[in-house]
Structure 1
Amino acid sequence: MKGLPVTDHTPLLEDFSLEMTGKDIASLREAAPAIPADTRINVTFLGNEDLQMRVAAAKAVKELGFVPVPHISARRLTSQGELEEFLAALQGVGASEHVFVVGGDPEVPAGPYPDSLTVIRSGILQSYGVKEVSIAGYPEGHPDIADDVLWSHLGDKVSALREQGLGHVVLTQFAFDADAVSAWIDEVRSRGVDSEIRIGTPGPAGIKRLLGYARRFGVGTSASIAKKYGFSLTNLLGTAGPDRFVTELADLRANVSDPSETRIHFYTFGGLLATAEWAKNFRDGK
């Protein structure tokens, strides 16, 4: 693995964040020695998980010396009561200060929250100790939402969080195209959004799995991803890491004046240890 010969890529990785599911507690404990203290670790809100699993994962993150960022999936919530029960449980284990509020996958909302903005505007978050809210960004677009709508929603959410005195972070869907991501960051800043930005990218993972997730979220074609990410479609049984993506993004952002920080967020696909070790090795130039 080659380090960057000119650009210092450290700023992107010096405070990276990770993602886990409610089922990954054992994997987190295994990976903990390789993860820097106070690393943000997002905990998903999936349909096949329940409140107890999500809270147990957030508690484990906290107990291991990291910063839990539990997800709240607006369209999966069946009622205000369910939202408050979840937040109360998170607060009870010291894991409610940072949350990621996202619309979620269901086509039809299960309850009163059709989108993340509705949850934010409810005023409920602060009552349970929330101090900072992450919101979604889509550098390569969304397969079901027009770009102008995405930009409008982003601005509305940032404005609502500012009005409520809450910190705000833009956390993006995973991306493969560094050029598109860099242009998107510039557009975010031109719209007056000064939030910290965390750019989502897959950690080292199997190529078939990467392409499967990319198809699910409408992120490019297999050929374009292979070209940008630097792997061969003739070796679908192999693995790929974000080496090229991180290197190219660091090059593109090296001389850009940015009012706030830009960091990397890794979607680990269960590979917490592999991702943490990759980040350390890459920073060390190995």
Structure 2
Amino acid sequence: MDSVSTVPARAVAPLLEDFSLEMTGKDVPRLEEARATIPPGTRINVTFLGNEDLGMRLNAARAVKRFGFVPVPHISARRLRSRESLEEFLEALRAEGLADNVFVVGGDPATPEGPYDDSLAVIRSGLLQKYGVRHVGMSGYPEGHPAITDPVLWSAIETKAAVLGEQRLPGGVITQFGFDIDPVLTWVEAVRQRGIGLPVRIGVPGPAGVRRLMGYAARFGVGTSASIAKKYGLSLTNLMGTAGPDRFIRALAERYDVQRHGEVKLHFYTFGGLKATSEWVAGFRTKDLTPVPLPRHAGS
């Protein structure tokens, strides 16, 4: 029997309160389909991808607010073509009451498309406060980044936390998703040891097909060795199967120590499966941690 399967419900329940979700600009129909299973007031991050435009991003953020949730629009620094394009986006958010919370990330392009090399440059610009931003999220990488060295990553998060403090802007960290709790908790403890007290949301893959999970893991440089896959419950011999984060969350509940790790919550990467993820969370909470069958529409 898995050693974490005996974790009591009371230990896991706090982790499943005030969780957050992620969606793309194209996911508005999926959000509408899932809205009844998502708790009111849930924070929902809206991506800033290269195949999305301003209208799509705004439409998604509007939908999040309209359905009673808290929109957290992403700002991808390297995708911004100019200072004016950043101001245009922020002004559009402010005009519709969507600018309170943003998540600033460097973004995928190897070469910046405009004046912002990284998320720190956006934070330092002063434009976030100018347009009414009240909370700023940033990324964390417990298993590193395929294109950025660990010393650079640590310097970046320390500097961003310090600059937000100087600007008196509350902030938080959302980690990249992973399959193994060991590097995640080691990283969170290191964050606290460096004097960074920002709340941390641990990135968790929502229920999805094994093939899709492995594909995203390879894309983002997340470890996918056989031992890690086994810990998470992925079947490498059945790539057509599905997997949920049961073991990961139980392991987190068993080992999480507020004295060492500070404030920790969960952030679910839905991979388009907003309804599958929200139903999974609801089922996991109400069935006292007994194994929960994945919804048929979780996809592969």
- TM-score normalised to structure 2 length: 0.92
**CA drift at 1:10:** 1.3
Residues matched between the structures, number: 284
Alignment of 1:167-206 (within 5 A): 167-206=170-209
Partner residue in 2 for 1:68: 71
Task: Say if 2:229 is the partner of 1:226.
Answer: yes
Q: Does the 8 Å contact 1:16/1:39 carry over to 2?
A: yes
Deviates more, 1:217-226 or 1:27-36: 217-226
- CA distance in structure 2 between the aligned counterparts of 1:223 and 1:155, rounded to whole angstroms: 33
Task: Say if 2:278 is the partner of 1:272.
Answer: no
Equivalent residue for 1:88, pick from 86, 91, 110: 91
SS in 1 for 2:115: coil
**CA drift at 1:94:** 1.2
Q: Does the 8 Å contact 2:232/2:247 carry over to 1?
A: yes
Q: Does the 8 Å contact 1:202/1:268 carry over to 2?
A: yes
Partner residue in 2 for 1:37: 40
**CA drift at 1:278:** 0.8
- C-alpha RMSD of the superposition: 1.4
SS in 2 for 1:8: helix
Partner residue in 2 for 1:262: 264
Identity of aligned residues (%): 63
- TM-score normalised to structure 1 length: 0.96
- CA distance in structure 1 between the aligned counterparts of 2:251 and 2:261, rounded to whole angstroms: 21
**CA drift at 1:283:** 1.5
- CA distance in structure 2 between the aligned counterparts of 1:56 and 1:9, rounded to whole angstroms: 34
Paired AA for residue 74 in structure 2:
H
Q: Find runs of 4+ consecutive structure 1 residues off by over 4 angstroms.
A: none
- CA distance in structure 1 between the aligned counterparts of 2:238 and 2:219, rounded to whole angstroms: 21
Q: Deviations over 1:169-193 (max 9, x none)?
A: 0111111111111111110111111
Alignment of 1:127-142 (within 5 A): 127-142=130-145
- CA distance in structure 2 between the aligned counterparts of 1:48 and 1:28, rounded to whole angstroms: 19
Decide whether aligned partners of structure 1 residues 3 and 133 sit closer, same or farther in structure 2, where only a CA change above 3 A counts: farther
Q: Does the 8 Å contact 1:7/1:251 carry over to 2?
A: no
SS in 1 for 2:11: coil
**CA drift at 1:281:** 1.2
Alignment of 1:146-157 (within 5 A): 146-157=149-160
- CA distance in structure 1 between the aligned counterparts of 2:109 and 2:36, rounded to whole angstroms: 36
Q: Does the 8 Å contact 2:188/2:261 carry over to 1?
A: no
Q: Deviations over 1:127-182 (max 9, x none)?
A: 11100100010011111111111111000000011111101101111111111111
Decide whether aligned partners of structure 1 residues 3 and 29 sit closer, same or farther in structure 2, where only a CA change above 3 A counts: farther
- CA distance in structure 1 between the aligned counterparts of 2:224 and 2:275, rounded to whole angstroms: 28
Q: Structure 2 stretches of 5 or more lacking a match? A: 291-300
Paired AA for residue 29 in structure 1:
E
- CA distance in structure 2 between the aligned counterparts of 1:148 and 1:228, rounded to whole angstroms: 28
Paired AA for residue 263 in structure 2:
E
- CA distance in structure 1 between the aligned counterparts of 2:253 and 2:36, rounded to whole angstroms: 27
- CA distance in structure 1 between the aligned counterparts of 2:200 and 2:260, rounded to whole angstroms: 10
**CA drift at 1:221:** 2.7
Q: Does the 8 Å contact 2:192/2:262 carry over to 1?
A: no
Paired AA for residue 261 in structure 1:
E
